[in-house]
Structure formats: C-alpha cells, structure tokens
Structure 1
Amino acid sequence: MNDYIFDRDTNGALEGHDDGGWTVRVSDLWNIEGVPNGGFLMALCLAAAGQQVSHPAPLTMNSHFLGRTMPGEATIRSRAIKRGRSLSVTAVDLIQNGRVSVTSLITWGELSGFGGPTGPLLSPPELPEESEMRSSLQMGLESTFISRFDYLMPRDIARGAFGQPTGNALARGRMRFTDGRPADLLSMPLIADGFPPAIFQLGYYGWAPTLELTIHFRSRPTPGWLTLDLTARHLLNGTFEEDCYIWDSKGDLVAMSRQLGRTLAS
C-alpha cells in the first residue's frame, strides 16, 4: 500500500472476513461538520465490492444514505445481484451499530467494452488562466476535508462559495488531491461530492448532506487537475438536485453525477 491518505483510508482500511464481508475503520480525515463525506463512504463501498468482481471497472454506482455514518468501526457486506460475461451487478451495504447507513448498487464492466459509436461529447467549461483564479490558500480555506484537496476557482465562484453569493446556482473550477495522488475511478465519487455545492452560490451555506447520489464512470482519468462543472436547478422545500460533470487534464469526460441533497440553511 502506498502512502496516499485516500488509499490508506479506503483499500488500506478494509479487513476481510471469511464470510466475504469486511470490517472497516471509517477515517475522520474526510469529515464535513464532523461527519464523513458521502462520496468518501461511496468510495469505501466501491473499494470493498471491487475485491469480489472480475470486471475491471465500475460503470455506474447508485447510493442511498439511510442514516448518519460516524468515524469509527463499521462493516461492509456485498452480494452479487448478477454475474454476466459483459456486466455484473453488486449490492453493497455499509453497516454501523447494527444499522445500514449506506446502501448501493454498482454495475461493473469494461468502459470501452461495448464497442458502439461515440457521438458529440460535452466540453469542459471555459475557465480563466490559473493565475486569474483563486486557490485554496488564497481563499484561506481551513477544514479537515478541504485540506485534502487543492482547489482553483474563478474569482466570482470563489467569493460566492464563501460568503458573497452570485445568485446563480452554478459552480465550476479545478480540483486535485493535495498529496499528489492521481485521480482514478475509485476517487470519482469523492471528487463528485467534494466541491463546494452549487447552492452556496445562492447563499445557502453550511452542511448540505447527500440523500442519494448516482455516478456514471465514463473513462479513466489522466493525471493532473480535474475540471468540474456543477449546477443546481431546483431548490424545493430544502432539497436540491445537483448535476456534476468531471473532465481530466486532457479534457476527456471521466465522470458525471446527480445527487439529491438537503440544505440545513434557513
């Protein structure tokens, strides 16, 4: 196991059982407001389930967050729903204190395995030059979770994320691990759930817990900065949907997600 914090806290935190499950110690290094980030918990489940399948890549993952997961000991259980030549499906539960807190379905296959046509793809957003954007350091960001990443944001988005809302629920910028870990498929749920939410741009700050998140894995990312584009179109009765698109340093679309979240701001 290498020295990257994310790998230590995902694959390196799993202890397999003879019955096919795992004991895991949920790290507190990915906390937001004292609670582990939902995308990090998805990555934990993805890492565990990946040990039991023969297909090389996840294609889609859907997770429902049924209760709060806290740092500390938990159990992960995975079962096969389908085993096929081109696709397999697994169901994964994260269990803590005898209760399922996260339940997921994952479809596995080969990202280029279908051999069908490729049509026009969404291009990454136009962003200012790096020198014209605000970095994590310049923004003075200090939290356990945020310290795991480097962020770059256009100045208006940066101001909107941290106290001066733009009035437009759109966020975009760049992101990478602080310790230099290259992004990969395992880290995509964390990345998709790791950028300041688009509803911050409307002035609804604070913890925005995820109720459900679906991510589609589109290609393997190349090393370097990831570009993210997030939009929230509907805020209704305290819940919002957020669409996130992620491109790698070559401009290739690597993942896309939609989540239903809840804002605790009034």
Structure 2
Amino acid sequence: MAEDIYDIDTASTPRGDGIRDLVLTDRWNTPLGKPNGGYILAAMLRGLGEEMEADDPMVAAISYLASPETGAAELRTTALRRGRRVQTGEAALWEGDRHIAHLLASFGARTGGRSVELGTPPALPAPDECFDPKDFPDALPSSSIFDRVDYRLTEAPGWALGEPSGDPTAELWQRLAGGREIDFPALAFLCDAYAPPVLEIGEFMSMTVQLTVHLHRRPVPGWIATRLTTRHVINGYHEEDCELWDEAGNLVAQSRQLAILLS
C-alpha cells in the first residue's frame, strides 16, 4: 500500500548521533499560513520514538519557541532515561539557526492495571447524522489543515456565521482524512486540529504557546468524539482543554494548552 500524506509528512530520516532530517510541508498550514502546532508535535513525537526505539508514547509536552516555516528542518533528539517501564527523551526542532520547538516525552508499554472512568464522552449524534462543514465554505476558515482532517458537526459554529455564541465550547467528530488509522502521534495532532473554541467569545485567532498531551490508549477504528473548552482568558492568554473519545466510548487522549490571543 502506498504511503499516505500523513505518513509522508510526519516522517523523518536518521542521520546519526540522534539527529533526524524532516521536511515541514504546507499541507498542514493553519489560517495564519504556518504549519499547525499539532502537526509539528506529531512529527517530533514520531521521530523521537523511532530514534529511541521506545514503547508507545504516554505523555508529551511541547513548547513552541519561534514561528515555524515550511521547508527542511532538523530534529535533535536525546534519550534521558531508558527505564524498564518508562523511557523518557527530548527533541529539539531546528530550522537553520532557529530553535522552533522543544519536546519532552515519556514512553511506556500498556501493561494493564486498574482503570476507573468518571467522565462521559460528548453526547453527539452518529457521524453520518451530522453535517460536513466542508459543504458550507463559511463554516471553517480557509486553511490546508482542514483538508487533512474530516469533521462532522451538529451545527455550524456561531463564530463562522458572524454570531459568536458566547460559550467557548465545541463538541464534534474528527478523524484523519479518508479514515486513515489513527496512531498515537495522530491522536496528539487531533488535540490541536480544530478551530479554537475561544472564537465563540468574539476572538479572531489564538496561537499555542505550550501543549501537554496525555495519550491513554489506541482508539478503535472510526471517528473520534472531541470536546474542547476554554474557561479562563487572562491578560490575553487562555487555556484550552481537549478530550478525545473513540466510538466505543473510551477516553483515548486529553490535553491542555496555553495559547495567546491574536488580534
């Protein structure tokens, strides 16, 4: 089977001494014309895991240090700990002499143990009962990232209609375009793949400063139910929380990010 765009665009090639070469493409650009932060996270997390020959990623924390550009980049990785249960490493993304992003991640085998779920997934209609916002050009801003993800919404968001609801919450279905299987780096990407809900209080756009993702389990094949919320906007910064649930009702990932409002 031929590689799909996700495989190609998150791939990196080992050069030796923990350094890997990759190319950031414009196929994952945000409405700001820059590579999406979740896409950068997915590529860095995949490269670090491959370089360390580690188990599945469990948690990843990325800080964005400079505005990324499309083109050739370098991933500089370091193994910090190779424990029996947990392996931890870090990766720095460089474009020339510009340090773009820094990632700290831990990996480990899923060996079972107690599970207690006190949350509930979004109460969404089935994906085929929702509408595809790509059929309504005003429902999503013009951006190449929205060609890489399939979305299903229960209704058009208020901000897209010029009538922000005042409630910075969003619940929707997501998946990689065409239904491509979702691996752990793709789950990390999906935590940052939709328009920020802060748009529902009349903001224009925001940009992620720091993002931490917890990766709990691989999803069953299908769509990912997504809940996004913002509750605090302070001095031009805001948090954004995300939960990802698979179609079997399992929480598969969650995240929190700090973002800055752009006027």
Distance (whole Å) between structure 2 residues aligned to residue 120 and residue 236 of structure 1: 31
1:221 aligns with 2:219: yes
Kept after mapping to 2: 8 A contact 1:185/1:217: yes
Distance (whole Å) between structure 2 residues aligned to residue 46 and residue 226 of structure 1: 20
Q: CA deviation at 1:60?
A: 0.1
Per the normalisation by structure 2, the TM-score is 0.93
Kept after mapping to 2: 8 A contact 1:4/1:179: no
Q: CA deviation at 1:97?
A: 2.0
**Which residue of 2 is the match for residue 209 of structure 1?**
207
**Which residue of 1 is the match for residue 103 of structure 2?**
104
Q: CA deviation at 1:106?
A: 0.4
Q: CA deviation at 1:198?
A: 1.1
1:109-188 → structure 2 map (5 Å cutoff): 109-110=108-109, 112-113=110-111, 115-130=112-127, 133-140=130-137, 141=140, 142-155=142-155, 158-188=157-187
Which letter does structure 1 place at the counterpart of 2:102?
Answer: T
> Which deviates more, 58-67 or 125-134?
125-134
The number of residue pairs the alignment matches comes to 259
1:237 aligns with 2:235: yes
Distance (whole Å) between structure 1 residues aligned to residue 53 and residue 17 of structure 2: 18
Per the normalisation by structure 1, the TM-score is 0.92
Q: Report the aligned-residue RMSD.
A: 1.7
The CA deviation string for residues 182-226 of structure 1, in whole angstroms up to 9 with x for no partner, is: 2121101210000111101112123x2110000000010111111
Do the aligned partners of residues 16 and 131 (structure 1) sit closer, same or farther apart at CA in structure 2, a change above 3 Å counting? Answer: closer
Unaligned ranges ≥5, structure 1: none
Do the aligned partners of residues 161 and 216 (structure 1) sit closer, same or farther apart at CA in structure 2, a change above 3 Å counting? Answer: farther
1:264 aligns with 2:244: no
Distance (whole Å) between structure 1 residues aligned to residue 136 and residue 63 of structure 2: 32
Unaligned ranges ≥5, structure 2: none
Do the aligned partners of residues 60 and 132 (structure 1) sit closer, same or farther apart at CA in structure 2, a change above 3 Å counting? Answer: same
Distance (whole Å) between structure 2 residues aligned to residue 173 and residue 107 of structure 1: 29
Kept after mapping to 1: 8 A contact 2:150/2:178: no
Report the identity percentage.
33
**Which residue of 2 is the match for residue 26 of structure 1?**
24
| SS of aligned partner of 2:182 | coil
Which letter does structure 2 place at the counterpart of 1:217?
Answer: L
Distance (whole Å) between structure 2 residues aligned to residue 68 and residue 165 of structure 1: 28
Do the aligned partners of residues 258 and 225 (structure 1) sit closer, same or farther apart at CA in structure 2, a change above 3 Å counting? Answer: same
| SS of aligned partner of 1:74 | strand
| SS of aligned partner of 1:3 | coil
Distance (whole Å) between structure 2 residues aligned to residue 162 and residue 54 of structure 1: 47
Q: CA deviation at 1:100?
A: 1.4
**Which residue of 1 is the match for residue 2 of structure 2?**
2
Do the aligned partners of residues 162 and 175 (structure 1) sit closer, same or farther apart at CA in structure 2, a change above 3 Å counting? Answer: farther
